[in-house]
Amino acid sequence: MGEIMKKYIDDAEAALLHTYNRYQIVWDKGDGVYMYDIEGKKYLDFVAGIAVFALGYNNREYNDALKAQIDKVIHTSNYYYNIPAIEAAKKLKKISGMDRVFFTNSGAEAVEGALKAARKYAFLRDGNTDHEIIAMNHSFHGRTMGALAVTGNPHYREAFEPLIGNIKFADFNDFDSVKAQVTDKTCAIIMETVQGEGGIYPASEDFLKKVRALCDEKDILLILDEIQCGMGRTGSMFAWQRYGVKPDIMTSAKAIGCGIPVGAFMMTEKTASHSLTSGDHGTTYGGNPLACTAVSKVIDLFDELDVLENVRNVGDYMYDKLDELAEKYDCIKAHRGVGLIQGLEFDRPVGDIILRALDKGLMLINAGTNIIRFIPPLIVTKQNVDDMLNILEECIL
């Protein structure tokens, strides 16, 4: 590490709250599927800003759209309408099949809004305020107090309790476990369609369809968290579309804006017309023209670049190649995932492998202590996958 990079890192450690154990790199720029640090070293990126940069870095059309909007207006507040928000909402409705959109600034905020909507729906139905929400063990929904309350990892929650109450946890992909938690007070079931932080576990079709049927029978709202697995990462625009199981509420963020902080929660018309109304929810920045310009342009570029077809082709290729790697090494215990969200489970912590890969110019991250997560930009090529595998194999000792 050079003196200039060390100085920046020292300044950061002296000024920023220490809530992250960061890798010792200061980034300068990105281009395509590559990142460059301030010393000019090039890295192949299979992290994508944690599944954010779906279109890769420095996409000229995306950049130009944001620059043009900056020269017009960045923020107006929600006392008024703005054209980018209207256009982005229409496009989100089209690609999701949902009916109503609320723009937020992050995924955690989208989850907060979804939880409020579910509780308001149940309150309007029966006038009670003691409703319960069922979430999944090993899930991750965010760090704010409501999102944390439905995150199925006690380690994340325990220092901040009491969180919002009446939350129960069931086992993902175990319908009997979910059914056992249902009472006449249950107002919502929330889950990631593909568990990300919890270890890259896709929902099974049977499980999702049974949960959907249970929700229909009991008038329970199904909330699907598509913050990481949505926006094309599984090869469908949203992961639930692979199963034909539609949620009542869906959360989205990360790749929806490809780097601009923006999220959204979306609802069916039935849910929207029987839940949040004027004064129930709000945000100063949510739906601002700059963020919504990003959303609108991202959706356009997904179509123009045929991103979903690339995810399916390269995702299948990466799946086969990672399967071969898993067969080759006894230390790899499992391989899971779909599209361009996949994981390799090792018999030991993977931190050292990730550090060795970083030293060789490959960016990877973990999902839990012993799983390497592969979430590259969705424009990645088969050659990029081969390059990644060549470096990764050098790092498995």
Query: pLDDT digits over 148-179, tens only?
Result: 999 999 999 999 999 999 999 999 999 999 99
pLDDT tens digits for range 207-229: 999 999 999 999 999 999 999 99
- Name the 3-class secondary structure at 216: helix
Q: Tell me which amino acid residue 151 is.
A: T
pLDDT tens digits for range 224-271: 999 999 999 999 999 999 999 999 999 999 999 999 999 999 999 999
Q: Is 184 exposed, middle or buried (0-12, 13-18, 19+ CB in 10 A)?
A: exposed
Instruction: Please compute the mean of the pLDDT values over residues 17-27 and round it to a whole number.
Output: 94
For the domain made up of 98-285, give the CATH fold: Aspartate Aminotransferase; domain 2 (3.40.640)
Q: Left if phi > 0, otherwise alpha if psi is -120 to 50, otherwise beta: which for 65?
A: alpha
Q: How far apart are CA 57 and CA 225, in angstroms?
A: 25
Instruction: Please compute the mean of the pLDDT values over residues 307-326 and round it to a whole number.
Output: 98
DSSP letter at 204 equals: P
Instruction: Please compute the mean of the pLDDT values over residues 30-43 and round it to a whole number.
Output: 97
* pLDDT at residue 152, rounded to an integer: 96
Q: Where are the domains of the chain?
A: 98-285
* pLDDT at residue 373, rounded to an integer: 98
* pLDDT at residue 1, rounded to an integer: 82
* pLDDT at residue 348, rounded to an integer: 96
pLDDT grade for 397, boundaries at 50, 70 and 90: confident
Q: Dihedral (C-alpha) 269, 270, 276, 281: value to the nearest 10 degrees?
A: -40
Sequence-ordered alpha helix ranges (H) in the chain: 3-15, 48-51, 60-70, 83-96, 107-126, 145-149, 154-157, 175-181, 205-218, 269-272, 289-304, 307-328, 351-359, 382-395
